[in-house]
Structures are given as C-alpha cells and as structure tokens.
Amino acid sequence: MPKLTIEELDKLREKAVAKLRLRESGENRGKVTIHLGTCGIAAGGRQVLTALLVEVEKLGIKDITVTTAGCAGLCSREPMATVELFGQAPVKYVDLTADKIKKILAEHVVNGKTVKDYALAIGSERVG
Amino acid sequence: MPYRLNVMLCTGTGCVSNGAFNLLEAFKTEIRKHELHEEVAVIPTGCNGFCAVGPLVVVQPDEIFYQKLRVEDVPFLVQEHFLKGRPVKKFMYTPPETKEPIPIMSNIPFFGKQMLIALRNRGLIDPENIDEYIARDGYKGFTKAITMMTPKQVIDEVKASGLRGRGGGGFPTGLKWEVAFNTQSDEKFIIINCDEGDPGAFMDRSIVESDPHSVIEGVLIGAYALGVKQTYIYVRMEYPLALKRFYIAIEQAKEYGLLGQNILGKGMDLEIEVHRGAGAFICGEETALIRSIQGFAGEAQAKYIYPAQKGLNGKPTIINNVETWANIPQIILRGSNWFASIGTRGKNGDGGSTGTKVFSLVGKVNNTGLVEVPMGITLREIIYDIGGGIKNNKKFKSVQTGGPSGGFLPESLLDLPVDFDELLKAGAMMGSGGMVVVDEDNCMVDMARYFLDFVQSESCGKCIPCREGTKRMLDILERITYGQGTEDDLLKLEELSRLIVESSLCALGGTAPNPVLTTIKYFREEYEAHVKNKKCPAHTCKSLITYTIDSKICIEKGHGCGVCRKNCPQTAITGEIKKEHRIDPTKCDKCGICFDVCKFDAIYVD
Ligand SMILES: Cc1cc2nc3c(=O)[nH]c(=O)nc-3n(C[C@H](O)[C@H](O)[C@H](O)COP(=O)(O)O)c2cc1C
Ligand code: FES
Ligand code: FES
C-alpha cells in the first residue's frame, strides 16, 4: 500500500463506507426484505437475494437496507420480497426471479413506483 | 458484493475471557458449512459495553442483540437466523421485570440513555482494520485540522469546547495545550496515558481495544497543533489485547502514511513509541510516568513546574488520558460548539463539564459494564436506568466514584448531577471514571479499609505523610473492623487525613484519605456502631458478628435436619437429627455457610 494523499484518503473512505453501510440501521430511506424461509430458499430466494445485492452495489444505492426474514406465510408464491420505503405502506412481491427483483429495485426503490405486475398486496402488514 | 448480514462479535477482554474467540471460530465454521460465507460476515469488535451479558453479538443491519452465547448455541442460531431469517428469541436480552425479550439493541434500556463520543465506534468496526475506522469519518478531523486550520486555531477550538482531562483531575485540555504551545523549545513531546490503575476501571483499555485509531487521530491533531514529532503511549503490561491492537493500528497507520514521515504529503512527521508499564498505580500520575519512561523508578515529583512547560527530558510535554485523546477528532470535525452544547456549563458560561464521560459501572448493579453518558446525568439515572438497579433486590447503600482518590456518596445524593465540580463539592471525585455500587451487605468501614489498603501498598514511598500516614490510618481501620476501635479513633482518622492531604508530595497521598473522609461524613453511624456497640450493621466484619441457631424454628420447621452440621467446615455445629442444633462460638469461623444452606431461616446473624 503506497502512502496516501488527502484525496486518496477521501476516495478510500467512500469505498469503505459502501462496504460498511449494511452494518448500520436507522437513517435509511427504506428496506428490502427477502423472505428466506425453507420454502423461500427452496424456490430460489437466495439467487434473488444475490441478484439484489449485486445490483444495489452496482447502482451505488446507499440509503437502503437489504435484509432477510423468515417465511411470509404464502409458500406457494415464493420467492417473495417486501419493499418498505419509510413513511409508505409496505409492498409484497411474489414469484420473484433475479430479473424481476432488478426491475423492482429500479422502479420501486429508486423511482418510487410500485411494480404492479409482481405485487401481491400493498399495505398488508408490517414486516419488521 | 456487500454482505447482507454482519455479525458483530464482541472480542473485548470481558467477552474474550468468557470464550468469545471460540465463538468466533464456531460462527465461521458454521457459516461456511451452510455456504453463507459470501453473504454473512463475522466481525470481531471491541467491548460493546454490556459486559454483564457477554459473550454477545449484534447482527446488523437489523441490530439484533444476542447475549450469553455458548459455542453449542451457534449451529441453531446460524440455521434459524442467518439461513432462515428467524431471529432467535431465547438468546435475546430479557429484562427480569417484563420477561419479554427485546430483539433490538437500542431498545434495551442499558443502551438507551447513553451517548457515544469517545466510544463512537464501539461494536461497529473491526478495531484491527483501519479501513473501517476511515469509513466512519476516521482521520477526517485530522485532515480538516491540517488543511483548514492553523495550530493556534486548533488549540482555540479545543479550548472553546470546554474539554477537561478525562484522566482524573479534569484540568482543561485546551489550556494545557496552550501552555505548551507558548513555551519556547526546540523539541516538544506528547504522552498518551493508558496506565489506568484504578480498581474496577477499564475505560481506557476498552477504548484502545475497540477503537485504537481514534486515539492515534487525536494525537495527530495534538502533534500538529504543538509541532510535536515524537509521542509515547504508556500502557500497562496487564493489557495484552489493548497492546496488540495498538501495535496493529500503528503499523496500519504507517502503511497509509498517517504516521511516519511527510504525513499525507503535508510535510508533517510523527512517531508513536509504545512503553509498557509494569502496572503500578503511581505510574499513572504524570510526573511518575515521565520518570518511568526515562528509565527511573516511578516516583512522583513535586509539581513546581508543570510538565507542559518542562516534562520529558526537560522539554514541554503534553500528557493526556486515552479518553481525552479519543474525544479530540470529533471536537475538531464537528466543532467546539457542538461539543460544548453537551453536558453542563458553569455559572458564567465557563467551568462546568462539557461532553460525555465513560464510566465502568461495577459492583452490586444488575447491568455491569461500560457506559458513556452526557455530563450532568444524575447518579440515579446511571445506576437505575442504565444499570438496571441493585442486584438481588437488595437495598442501595452507596456509590463510590473516582477510584482510590474519590469517595463514597449516600442515597440522599443520588440525584447529584455527575460533573467534575459537583462531585468534588460532595467530597468525591470524577476520577478516571470507576463507579462502584455498594449495597446493604457491604460494611462502609470495610470498604474504606479496602481502598486505603490499596493506596497504602501502591504508595511509592518517597514522602513520609503518604508512606507512613496511610499505614497508620490503615492500622486504625483494621482495628475498628476487629472490634478494637475507640471513639478516639474517629478523631485520629480525621486528623491524620487532614495532615496527609496537606503535606503529601503528590495527589496519591493528597487524595488517599477521601474514601475514609466520605464514609465518616455520610455513614458515621456505621463507624459508631463498630466502636461503641462493637457491632457491624452490615454483618461483614467477622469479629463483630455471631451466628446463632434459633432452636424453636430448627425443631419445629426443620425438624433438626442437620444440613448446617454437615456443611460446616469447622465442625462447629453439634446436634442430632430431629434434635436441637447448636453452634460452638469458639470453633465458629463466621464463614456463613450454615446461614446460606439452612432452608428454614433458622440461623440468624447479629
Ligand atoms: C495516583 C495517581 C494515579 C493516576 N493514574 C492515572 C491513570 O491511570 N491514567 C490517567 O490518564 N491519568 C492518571 N492520573 C492523572 C495524571 O496524573 C494526569 O493528570 C492525566 O493523565 C492528565 O491527562 P488528562 O488531562 O487528559 O486527564 C493519575 C494521577 C494520580 C495522582
Ligand atoms: S467485553 Fe464484550 S461487552 Fe464488554
Ligand atoms: S505516592 Fe509517592 S509521594 Fe505519595
């Protein structure tokens, strides 16, 4: 590692911040929860999660928490995800694939428009 | 790809001694077994503060808090939470009152009233990874100082913040720096005081263990302001983990060009040398510490001239405590106004105590651990709201602040705001932040004896009042606890105290009588019970208590069960099953085992 200048230190900080971002909760704009019950995993939830994480990093999204939760109770429609933008009703998405979650990220999380085609219900319950 | 879960595992000394490193291995193995190692990271951190329930982890980003984990718990936890996404209730903190588990760390009352400045990164970063410190605004205060401020401005900012030294005396840090700044010299030094000898205190150790770079950054700022090129950190040998992490931090800072020559290309040079102290209380005192670094015996010097003018090698030397240094980066980065708005302010806007203070809360409270709170918070809030009250529903008796230099405060002062001046007025001291809670089962004379015994054996012996005076005081206190004290002894204690305070060479002697003086002041009746009635109200001074069996209860309720007889190590109890039992007072060693084992409360102590 060569010795840093102030500019290089700032760049390094930016990179490191992105890595650590998922470690803190609180000041974020919202949260995407992938349901990873046994049913979710069997239906391919892990691939959906991986696709989501890769995309979040690629787009440099910094104010969203990605997390996982257990079975959401509708095993036949897995993989499922819940998108919560704080201050808005949570939206549940069903029958997901890697491509679908990317679209949800771009349209709902980034632009605030619910992707109606994949949504199961809006405001059904609170997932915490 | 970022990790979706970060398992922040405490590897502070407390948790390590409860097996945290074994847990670390278990987590890694189990996570790999489920092929989660690219999604779930396990990060060893420094002390999280809530040592009472360690070993513990916090799972981020959801801030799920797990306590008292054992290696056997790991497979289930990994499978349920990390794989299936179901946080596990049975490992969560469950307050005894509500019996309802609290999943999220910040909802646990222990953390609720705390405010973190010196400990801002605790539990959030890997102390052995400089990038993580940098990510949390690390070295930003320093770059601000060297690019946007003159040395004089840095000193003025520290002065305006109102920061007072966290090592004990509470001397205004900016003022100290100014003295060194204004003293002409070809060379100046900085020393980081990490000796920490107070019984029951572990604030400085935890700061270095959990966030060593915060100390290094503080020193960089001080070195820039004062034109210092050489600094020393004095750490006691009993702190191996702190030492290890500090060495690692120095190496990483050097690699990045944050220590060494031409720092960040700005032409500043700085080295940090680590000195390992052998662990003597007096070596925390600044003049003794300097003597120790220079290779002499750690003896205090009379302070006719302050080290800030003439210290190490006769050159201006700034000694500050670890916690003081850890505050500096935030003061520079966020400004003195922000810092000064926290805490208390004296009458004319000066004095008072700004910012926060780290305390190690120990003794008879439910939630022992490390807490950082805004100055001005009351003792009651610390002990009851954060500390969760007294263990085993016992009655609060006293709280000791400030270590051997401090004093014992009674229940009537629980609403005292914690601030350098208020504590001093009450006869105690802020000290470095040890806080020992005492309940009804502790004898105040015995507590005073304990602290005096400590200073008596830690006195460097150079001056007579301190060396001989504390010895005489200890003799008297021992006599009182043996039931051989007289009323005259109380007067003698007070007289000796005055003498030692006035004539000792350094503050060790100068403050040593405080625990005795405060216990006499606030708990005089306990001393009187010892000397007049030859009784120990707390039932701890062995010479003054007797154990007796109430034969009526023994026969009627216990049917002469004989458990006490079987358990007595002195064979002092006689009697047959179903018959009356008796304790032979000449054989009884007052160990209290009979009292503890009797299921029928047939034994009483007086
Ligand atoms: C007997 C005695 C022991 C002390 N032990 C310590 C110590 O362990 N750590 C510490 O920082 N200061 C200790 N001090 C205070 C130091 O002498 C000095 O005031 C302090 O390190 C200055 O730093 P500060 O202004 O940041 O508090 C001790 C003082 C005395 C009299
Ligand atoms: S050492 Fe783990 S919480 Fe203090
Ligand atoms: S301890 Fe050395 S003079 Fe008091």
List phi, psi (to 5°) of B292: -65, -40
Q: How far is the CA of B326 from the centre of ligand 1 (A)?
A: 15
**What single letter denotes the amino acid at residue B488?**
D
Q: What is the CA radius of gyration of chain B?
A: 27
In contact, B85 and A35? CB cutoff 8 Å: yes
Ligand 2 neighbours, Cβ below 6 Å, are: B 10, 12-15, 47-51, 54, 56
Cα-Cα-Cα-Cα dihedral of B332, B336, B339, B342, to 10°? 180
List phi, psi (to 5°) of B260: 105, -140
What pLDDT is stored for residue A22 in this prediction? 60
Show the tokens assigned to B433: 């932040």
What pLDDT is stored for residue B346 in this prediction? 66
Strands B573-574 and B547-549: unpaired
Of residues A60 and A111, more confidence is placed in A111
- Contact A16/B124, CB-based, under 8 Å? no
Ligand nearest to the CA of B207: 2
Q: Closest ligand 3 atom, CA of B509?
A: 4
Q: Is B294 on the interface with A (CB under 8 A)?
A: no
What pLDDT is stored for residue A124 in this prediction? 46
Q: Is B105 on the interface with A (CB under 8 A)?
A: no
In contact, B166 and B357? CB cutoff 8 Å: yes
Dist CA A27 CA A85 (whole Å): 12
- Candidates B368, B374, B359, B443; CA nearest to B408 is B443
Characterize B127-161 residue by residue with b for buried, 16 or more Cβ atoms within 10 angstroms of its Cβ, and e for exposed: bbbbbbbbbbbbbbbbbbbbeebebeebbbbbbbb
- The residue count of chain A comes to 128
Q: Closest ligand 1 atom, CA of B166?
A: 27
What pLDDT is stored for residue A55 in this prediction? 87
Cβ(B459) to ligand 3 under 6 A? yes
Q: Closest ligand 3 atom, CA of B463?
A: 3
Q: How far is the CA of B305 from the centre of ligand 2 (A)?
A: 40
Smallest CA–CA distance, residue A77 to chain B, in Å, is 17
All residues of chain B having their beta carbon less than 8 Å from the beta carbon of residue A6 are 143, 147, 264-266
Total-model pTM:
0.88
Of residues B1, B5, B125, nearest to A54 (C-beta): B1
Cβ-Cβ contacts under 8 Å between A and B: the total is 109
Dist CA B383 CA B400 (whole Å): 12
Q: Closest ligand 3 atom, CA of B459?
A: 1
All residues of chain A having their beta carbon less than 8 Å from the beta carbon of residue B1 are 50, 53-54, 57
A5 to chain B: nearest residue by CA?
Answer: B264
**With helix as H, strand as E and coil as C, how does B309-344 read?**
CCCHHHCCEEEEEHHHHHHHHHHHHHCHHHHHCCEC
Q: How far is the CA of B599 from the centre of ligand 2 (A)?
A: 36
Distances (CA, A) of B360 to B201, B238, B275, B370: 6, 17, 24, 5
Ligand nearest to the CA of B404: 1
Largest pairwise CA distance in chain A: 56
What pLDDT is stored for residue B347 in this prediction? 61
**Interface predicted TM-score of the whole assembly (ipTM), two decimals:** 0.81
Dist CA B542 CA B289 (whole Å): 39
Cβ within 8 Å of residue B319, ≥6 positions away: B190, B191, B193, B286, B289, B290, B307, B311
Q: How far is the CA of B285 from the centre of ligand 3 (A)?
A: 10
Of residues A1, A23, A34, nearest to B60 (C-beta): A23
What pLDDT is stored for residue A16 in this prediction? 84
- Contact A22/B266, CB-based, under 8 Å? no
List phi, psi (to 5°) of B27: -60, -45
All residues of chain A having their beta carbon less than 8 Å from the beta carbon of residue B143 are 6, 9-10
Q: Is B237 helix (H, G, I), strand (E, B) or coil?
A: coil
pLDDT tens digit string along A49-88? 888 888 887 887 878 888 877 777 777 788 888 888 877 7
Strands B356-363 and B317-321: unpaired
- Candidates A29, A119, A97, A67; CA nearest to B60 is A67
Distances (CA, A) of B100 to B69, B92, B107, B108, B563: 18, 9, 12, 11, 38
Q: Closest ligand 2 atom, CA of B10?
A: 2
Q: Is B258 helix (H, G, I), strand (E, B) or coil?
A: coil
Residue A11 has pLDDT above 60, yes or no: yes
**With helix as H, strand as E and coil as C, how does B190-207 read?**
EEEEECCCCCCCCHHHHH
Dist CA B403 CA B407 (whole Å): 8
In contact, B335 and B157? CB cutoff 8 Å: yes
Dist CA B492 CA A72 (whole Å): 75
Question: Which among B221, B285, B299, B460 is the best mutation to test ligand 1's pocket, defined by most ligand atoms within 8 Å of the CB?
Answer: B285
Cβ within 8 Å of residue B524, ≥6 positions away: B490
Q: Count CB atoms within 10 A of the CB of residue B102.
A: 16
Cβ within 8 Å of residue A92, ≥6 positions away: A72, A80, A81, A82, A119, A120, A121, A122, A124
Ligand nearest to the CA of B190: 1
Residue A1 has pLDDT above 70, yes or no: no
What pLDDT is stored for residue B397 in this prediction? 97
Q: Is B186 helix (H, G, I), strand (E, B) or coil?
A: coil
Question: Which among B193, B292, B429 is the best mutation to test ligand 1's pocket, defined by most ligand atoms within 8 Å of the CB?
Answer: B193
Smallest CA–CA distance, residue A53 to chain B, in Å, is 6
- Interface mutation vs chain A, best among B5, B45, B84, most A CBs within 10 Å: B84
**Residue ranges of chain B with per-residue pLDDT less than 50:** none
Question: Which among B10, B110, B111 is the best mutation to test ligand 2's pocket, defined by most ligand atoms within 8 Å of the CB?
Answer: B10
Q: Hey, which residues does B396 pair with through a beta bridge?
A: B439
In contact, A121 and A75? CB cutoff 8 Å: no
Smallest CA–CA distance, residue B257 to chain A, in Å, is 4
Show the tokens assigned to B203: 């604030």
Helix (H) or strand (E) holding A35: strand A30-35
Dist CA B565 CA B549 (whole Å): 11
Q: How far is the CA of B514 from the centre of ligand 3 (A)?
A: 15
What pLDDT is stored for residue A21 in this prediction? 63
What pLDDT is stored for residue B334 in this prediction? 96
What pLDDT is stored for residue A78 in this prediction? 82
Q: Is B36 helix (H, G, I), strand (E, B) or coil?
A: coil
